[in-house]
Structure 1
């Protein structure tokens, strides 16, 4: 009998994401796995808790593949819950806690979730509670350990663990079985459910393990939300490696610095704006950061001046840029520490070992060095597809590659340079202007903290290059000052026709500017603004 027809084969060969904790617990049962404030869980205890939650879910009669949604901030209970969902052979559906009630309801209904794991603080909101009640969901509430659980028709998460088996359920779960549906963060206003298998996520974790050189004694501070792919992937990679994951719910630079020193954190994942805030914090000069071995940044470019200062004063071990997508589980490419200061621009570096990257034109031809086209990938970390959207799935995998919607090119040394999102390439007066090129120049202005550049409708230019800027606290600059700065570094057609100063940038919970919001709000900017060129 061939292996593919052997009834035992799925169990023998399974790649179940929850097994990452089980295998680490077998090797290092007493090692610290998870820290949440004063709560410390060893691998043995985390294994026991995740198994117990898996058995609780199965005891509810949930069939294989049933969707369990989650509306939680970072916590030990959140991690325990999604690992238990994996171990039960069910599908984890994390929801961005910054979404509107309507956006949350759409995901719950679209994913056909039957159970919801939710933090008590969110369930206490009248609008969310009314929505949950209207959908008739079974509700499991996460409350801090030692606090009283809310009453009513909900179940406290910690209560679900009592009296359950401490050993993992015995399941036949092929690696291609769907493990999660993660909805895209909505920088385009569209919410698509990205389906991933246990095998696709696991392959991404293995790539991270190799590329980042993670070791069992490493520790990471998790502050980006785990309902998004970047932080989830890094946290899972550390659990696979036998490292320690320290979770925080919100970013506060002083508290981050203190935790790095007290917990001897070796690895950080953050946004450039977060590193800048820690660098500028008064406590940084007196904080011992010598434990840091590597810092990873994502979602946005790093200003060269900031990077140089960070390497000197924050983490001499180095910074790396990781890129990826919810659809092609991260990381797909990595710009390593030894490459950072050799090139200037939005370089994404090399493909990680688990996938292949190319640049393709609209007819499906792979392009050579120096030619701009769409960045495409293929590898085992690719999604199963978009949930209930076969047309979008087919478009994303045209010509046998996953299409990212990003434009890029390989330079003469084979390094991948990101040019722009396809939809963010501004066509002005017959010229193409990559928005990211203008953004990089804006970020060089000493008063500028955050930027976004879009093309807005214009009677003369068709699309006018328009910069949106948030200034650093206490800094002063006028739009005219910033335009003058741009003229020193950009061609005439690339200079913003207008700069708009904002108090806050509309953005996703991971720090991506929501350019579609700016386009909608300022659609009539050049009609309504006197003197706009």
Structure 2
């Protein structure tokens, strides 16, 4: 047996480091466009050199290996430069959802123990957010910066990296070391920091390229979902690995995405079902050249037979459903293109090459076809754990498998079906929102005497956050006032799409709210009661 001490040189020579991914791609693909943002193209070589400058700048500012650098940015080339600069410097990237309320951002800054913040200028213009940043005493680098709109102490990205060498920094990196903490909503309402290593993220990238059938010649990937989420982040890294160009967009705008497919010859498109519906229904769709599309990936929810058939006939002939979690770097399952028009319902398909997939009973027994249990995973892309939360880490990894919090079962052909969630989480428009978080905010309003928040089917959002509230009529507040209260204390994606006053909530004999009864009774709510829907 090789002594552990003898493995140290081997780790350095055979290391896995996310910063090396870009460096090696730059040496191979050079002048090819890595990023396309509007009319500007950034080559692999330029992206690598600017990221090197950022790494040297961070090291010069005192950043040590393992130090956390938080990021609050929308998609941009500058964001990608800063992210890879953090990787190359041996730092830990902590992306933050830009739609979170300022107090939630403040929690992440404090909980992650960040030393530096990279943020877009427009976001730092928010007074409440700036107060949290200033209270944290962070060094700040500003992206998309206007010199007149920021304190002199906050350097723009260009100013930060100016004068530093463009050469690859000599940073000793262990592939098993922590490289990022990505915060995801927990069932308690408090965000949990999911820790990943260089190796756990890298492991799934090559699996993705094989599963998606992507080569190294002239591929172009869409990048309109936010890079602070696992789904788009892993698509960007997969693109860089194989020399594909990524078309950066700030968000999904059907009037931007549709012409971009034709203009940039996008070959891989990633989106949510509601996005594909919008693209299909756009009046310019039939006049747009979509012939470059090789694969359209959708996530978060299955699509109806009608929508999927229409998309196959009028948009792209190859669709695949990919599922995953922040905790198990995605994709962990794939419902393949050749299966799409053969089976309909809540199919998630099979495990990807990187993963092993199971359905488990409460006592740790793996179940066979037809038996309902929790969906569990294991593989090299599993998280290191939840940051500063050993209890949650132990609970998620019991019996030697990662526990997803989702219920499922195998069919007789070995295909996985998703049935429900063990966790009381609402998946809406690509975001995970714990119902308890919304309930806690609603209960702060003096007119709310009781509340239950559930996700109900919605054509656009997949699940729409719906609040059933028992009101104290003497307070004189109605849905409009309650919605305004939510907007003041929640991120915009967390605000209920409908607030429904009820006389009472269904209860068990022990006083627990029966959310399943509310869901069943109001499945048609958004079709039958549009006048109650908050905009």
**TM-score, shorter chain, exceeding 0.5:** yes
Displacement of 1:26 in angstroms is 1.1
Q: Does 1:251 align with 2:252?
A: yes
SS of 2:215 mapped into structure 1? coil
Name the structure 2 match of 1:519.
none
Give the TM-score taking structure 1 as reference length: 0.82
Displacement of 1:501 in angstroms is 4.5
Question: 1:128-527 counterparts in 2 under 5 A?
Answer: 128-143=129-144, 150-185=150-185, 189-216=189-216, 217-316=218-317, 318-423=318-423, 450-452=462-464, 457-459=505-507, 463=514, 464-466=517-519, 467=522, 477-479=527-529, 501-504=532-535
The question of whether the paired residues in 2 share the 8 Å contact of 1:303 and 1:440 is answered with: no
1:281-311: CA deviations, max 9, x gaps?
1111111111111000111221211111011
Distance 2:76 2:525 in 1: 31
Structure 1 residues 61 and 190: alpha-carbon distance in aligned structure 2, compared to 1, 3 A threshold: same
Give the TM-score taking structure 2 as reference length: 0.82
Distance 2:237 2:329 in 1: 12
1:409-448: CA deviations, max 9, x gaps?
110000000011014599xxxxxxxxxxxx99966xxx88
1:202-248: CA deviations, max 9, x gaps?
01112111111112221111111110100001111000111001110
Distance 2:399 2:52 in 1: 42
Distance 1:460 1:68 in 2: 47
Structure 1 residues 424 and 181: alpha-carbon distance in aligned structure 2, compared to 1, 3 A threshold: closer
Name the structure 1 match of 2:104.
103
Distance 2:531 2:518 in 1: 11
The question of whether the paired residues in 2 share the 8 Å contact of 1:469 and 1:500 is answered with: no
Distance 2:309 2:156 in 1: 48
Distance 2:283 2:153 in 1: 47
SS of 1:282 mapped into structure 2? coil
Distance 1:425 1:171 in 2: 40
Distance 2:236 2:148 in 1: 28
Distance 1:55 1:176 in 2: 22
Structure 1 residues 185 and 248: alpha-carbon distance in aligned structure 2, compared to 1, 3 A threshold: farther
Displacement of 1:503 in angstroms is 3.1
SS of 1:458 mapped into structure 2? coil
The question of whether the paired residues in 2 share the 8 Å contact of 1:320 and 1:340 is answered with: yes
Structure 1 residues 292 and 391: alpha-carbon distance in aligned structure 2, compared to 1, 3 A threshold: same
Displacement of 1:170 in angstroms is 1.2
Distance 1:470 1:224 in 2: 28
Displacement of 1:183 in angstroms is 0.2
Name the structure 2 match of 1:33.
34
Indicate the larger mover: 462-471 or 74-83: 462-471
SS of 1:289 mapped into structure 2? coil
Gaps of 5+ in 2: 427-453, 469-504
Distance 1:404 1:334 in 2: 16
The question of whether the paired residues in 1 share the 8 Å contact of 2:220 and 2:265 is answered with: yes
SS of 1:114 mapped into structure 2? strand
Distance 1:412 1:170 in 2: 53
Gaps of 5+ in 1: 427-438, 472-476, 480-498, 505-533
How many pairs does the alignment contain? 463
The question of whether the paired residues in 1 share the 8 Å contact of 2:456 and 2:464 is answered with: no
